[in-house]
């Protein structure tokens, strides 16, 4: 298919979603993905589209009290391929939406490959096209040559930070005589495997994190900061002795059914708990929640096997670290995600400075719809700022301070405040109710324009 109308660069979550949205509206798409064409990134393991390189979770699916759950629902309302495939291949994760990462990626790849309006080409693009409608969705691991081209086009250096990846453990190597399955406070069923630590074990583990061998940075990486939402566990440990106990290793709400034992004299309530979440549909792989790390592989195996219940752990994947790149979107992009200095180019996904699988996909969804509307000559109304989509886009295109722009997950802090006072306990429910009403009105407006 050589007569494409839109060229999408990057077959991750955002590029895949943008391609789907365009194709479903009759637009012919060329989707360029370098993996599978002889190139690979430091974090990807396969050449599948929409590969999940870190966690397998889309976080909370609660659309009543959680901003990301609300974003899930808004994307479902807009025929999201990413949400459809996530729902089809979900695995138990309490109130979160997690999926079998391989089945999920396979489903996205197959669906897009079979669409008559999409041509998938395994090729690396080294420069921004000088003409033709283009969507750049190359994500946090943009190839250096293209990143340099983007820098030249924007007139500014790309910002960067580090993202860390958590290890994955084989289920049959976990000692369930020590561990147990439960969700915090019993919510969502027995969806997590919990490994308890007493105080002495925790203190030794904490010191081990501080003393472990870490990945060394190259000279050009040394001033790169971390993203707070994906902080390596050893960096968190360095912030204080109890930081982990109030973060990924918090024991509250996890009642140990094994009770007190000579090895665990503190009894039912642990001093700290390591949680693992199911990573595939078969339940054979489990990832260590919040255990992103920059430790060297040998150090990871040695230290993580001191965790009670993981003494004989076999790892399907160890943790890692990769550099993330994004542009200063509030300064460079217009309200429809076009590069102001070259409006034939739009940006989508994590390269815009949104953070998270769902947020990246949501931006891809909207960029695809903006591009389709431009081709029709009918501008797409901007989603209301009261919606999750609108709040996210507003932050990216001008709501954030361009002087200190940093990656951001969707959260209620991005939503406009209420004109009237709302009690703190009712605020989240009130925000989601307001968002649903605004979303319904926006969808109705789109339908009216399409019918006229």
> Residue 432 pLDDT > 60, yes or no?
yes
At 381 the pLDDT is 94
> Residue 286 pLDDT > 50, yes or no?
yes
Mean per-residue pLDDT over the chain, rounded: 89
At 221 the pLDDT is 44
Q: What is the CATH number of the domain that holds 51?
A: 3.50.50.60
> Residue 284 pLDDT > 90, yes or no?
no
73 to 67, 87, 358, 451: CA distances (angstroms) = 10, 11, 11, 24
How many structural domains comprise the chain? 2
At 151 the pLDDT is 85
Final residue in a domain of this structure, among 305, 323, 341:
323
At 13 the pLDDT is 97
Question: Do the annotations mark residue 10 as ligand-binding?
Answer: yes
* CB-based contact 322:41 (threshold 8 Å): yes
Q: Does one domain contain both 270 and 404?
A: no
Q: Does one domain contain both 181 and 266?
A: yes
* CB-based contact 257:190 (threshold 8 Å): no
Q: Does one domain contain both 174 and 318?
A: yes
Question: Do the annotations mark residue 399 as ligand-binding?
Answer: no
Q: Does one domain contain both 442 and 311?
A: no
Place of tokens 């886009």: 393
Question: Do the annotations mark residue 203 as ligand-binding?
Answer: no
pTM: 0.79
Final residue in a domain of this structure, among 303, 323, 343:
323
Dump pLDDT digits (tens) for 53-82. Answer: 878 999 999 999 999 999 999 999 999 999
Residue 1 lies in a domain: no
Q: Does one domain contain both 306 and 331?
A: no
Q: Does one domain contain both 297 and 357?
A: no
Contacts of 81 (CB under 8 A, 6+ apart): 16, 17, 20, 108, 111, 112
Mean pLDDT across 415-434:
90
pLDDT band at 214 (very low <50, low <70, confident <90, very high): confident
Residue 286 lies in a domain: yes
Give the span between the Cα atoms of 438 and 113, in whole angstroms: 34
Question: Do the annotations mark residue 12 as ligand-binding?
Answer: yes
At 22 the pLDDT is 98
> Residue 431 pLDDT > 90, yes or no?
yes
pLDDT band at 223 (very low <50, low <70, confident <90, very high): low
Residue 27 lies in a domain: yes
Question: Which of 26-30, 236-240, 291-295 bottoms out in mean pLDDT, i.e. has the lowest?
Answer: 291-295
Dump pLDDT digits (tens) for 305-315. Answer: 999 999 999 99
* CB-based contact 259:267 (threshold 8 Å): yes
- Give the pair of three-digit tokens for residue 200: 């002495």
Question: Do the annotations mark residue 15 as ligand-binding?
Answer: yes
Question: Which of 268-272, 303-307, 346-350, 364-368 bottoms out in mean pLDDT, i.e. has the lowest?
Answer: 268-272
Q: How is residue 6 annotated by DSSP? A: E
At 220 the pLDDT is 39
Nearest to 61 by CA among 86, 79, 39: 86
Q: Does one domain contain both 341 and 275?
A: no
> Residue 370 pLDDT > 50, yes or no?
yes
Q: Does one domain contain both 119 and 180?
A: no
At 241 the pLDDT is 96
Residue 87 lies in a domain: yes
Question: Do the annotations mark residue 290 as ligand-binding?
Answer: no
Q: Does one domain contain both 71 and 102?
A: yes
Dump pLDDT digits (tens) for 136-186. Answer: 999 877 887 888 888 888 876 555 666 677 899 999 999 999 999 998 887
Q: Does one domain contain both 55 and 95?
A: yes
DSSP 324-336: EEE--HHHHB-TT
Q: Does one domain contain both 284 and 353?
A: no
At 402 the pLDDT is 78
Contacts of 261 (CB under 8 A, 6+ apart): none
Final residue in a domain of this structure, among 262, 293, 323:
323
Q: What is the CATH number of the domain that holds 235?
A: 2.40.30.260
The neighbour count for residue 340, using CB atoms within 10 Å, is 11
Q: Does one domain contain both 83 and 221?
A: no
Dump pLDDT digits (tens) for 349-369. Answer: 999 989 899 999 999 999 999
At 321 the pLDDT is 74
At 225 the pLDDT is 59
Looking at the chain, the whole-number percentage of residues with pLDDT higher than 90 is: 64
> Residue 410 pLDDT > 80, yes or no?
yes
> Residue 219 pLDDT > 60, yes or no?
no
Dump pLDDT digits (tens) for 6-61. Answer: 999 999 999 999 999 999 999 999 999 999 888 877 777 788 999 998 789 999 99
Domain range for 224: 165-323
DSSP 219-256: GGGTTPPBPGGG--HHHHHTT-TTTGGGTTT--TT-B-
At 8 the pLDDT is 98
């Amino acid at each position: 298919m050589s007569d494409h109308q839109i060229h999408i660069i990057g077959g991750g979550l955002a590029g895949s979603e943008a391609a789907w949205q365009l194709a479903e509206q009759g637009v012919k798409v060329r989707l360029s993905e370098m993996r599978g064409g002889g190139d690979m990134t430091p974090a990807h393991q396969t050449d599948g589209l929409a590969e999940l390189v870190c966690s397998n979770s889309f976080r909370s699916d609660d659309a009543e009290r959680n901003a990301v759950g609300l974003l899930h629902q808004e994307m479902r309302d807009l025929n999201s391929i990413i949400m459809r495939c996530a729902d089809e291949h979900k695995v138990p994760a309490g109130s979160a939406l997690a999926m079998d990462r391989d089945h999920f990626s396979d489903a996205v790849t197959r669906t897009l490959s079979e669409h008559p309006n999409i041509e998938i080409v395994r090729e690396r693009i080294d420069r921004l096209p000088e003409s033709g409608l283009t969507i750049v969705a190359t994500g946090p691991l943009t190839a250096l040559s293209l990143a340099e081209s983007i820098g030249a086009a924007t007139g500014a250096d790309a910002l960067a930070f580090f993202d860390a990846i958590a290890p994955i453990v084989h289920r049959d190597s976990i000692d369930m005589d020590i561990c147990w399955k439960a969700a915090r406070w019993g919510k969502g069923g027995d969806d997590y495997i919990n490994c308890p630590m007493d105080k002495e074990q925790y203190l030794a583990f904490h010191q081990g994190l501080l003393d472990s061998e870490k990945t060394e940075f190259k000279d050009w990486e040394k001033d790169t900061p971390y993203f707070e939402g994906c902080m390596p566990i050893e960096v968190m440990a360095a912030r204080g002795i109890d930081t982990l106990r109030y973060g990924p290793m918090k024991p509250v709400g996890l009642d140990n059914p094994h009770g007190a034992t000579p090895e665990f004299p503190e009894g039912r309530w642990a001093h700290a708990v390591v949680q693992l979440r199911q990573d595939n549909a078969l339940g054979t792989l489990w990832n260590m929640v919040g255990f992103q790390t920059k430790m060297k592989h040998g150090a990871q195996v040695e230290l993580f096997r001191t965790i009670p219940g993981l003494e004989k752990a076999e790892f399907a994947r160890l943790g890692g670290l990769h550099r993330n790149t994004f542009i200063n979107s509030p300064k460079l992009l217009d309200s429809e995600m076009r590069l102001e200095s070259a409006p034939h180019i739009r940006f989508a996904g994590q390269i815009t400075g949104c953070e998270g699988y769902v947020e990246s996909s949501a931006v891809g969804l909207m960029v695809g719809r903006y591009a389709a509307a431009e081709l029709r000559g009918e501008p797409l109304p901007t989603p209301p700022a009261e919606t999750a989509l609108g709040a996210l886009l507003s932050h990216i295109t001008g709501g954030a301070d361009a002087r200190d722009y940093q990656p951001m997950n969707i959260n209620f802090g991005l939503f406009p405040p209420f004109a009237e006072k709302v009690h703190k306990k009712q605020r989240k429910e009130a925000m989601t109710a307001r968002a649903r009403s605004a979303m319904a009105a926006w969808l109705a407006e789109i339908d009216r324009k399409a019918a006229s």
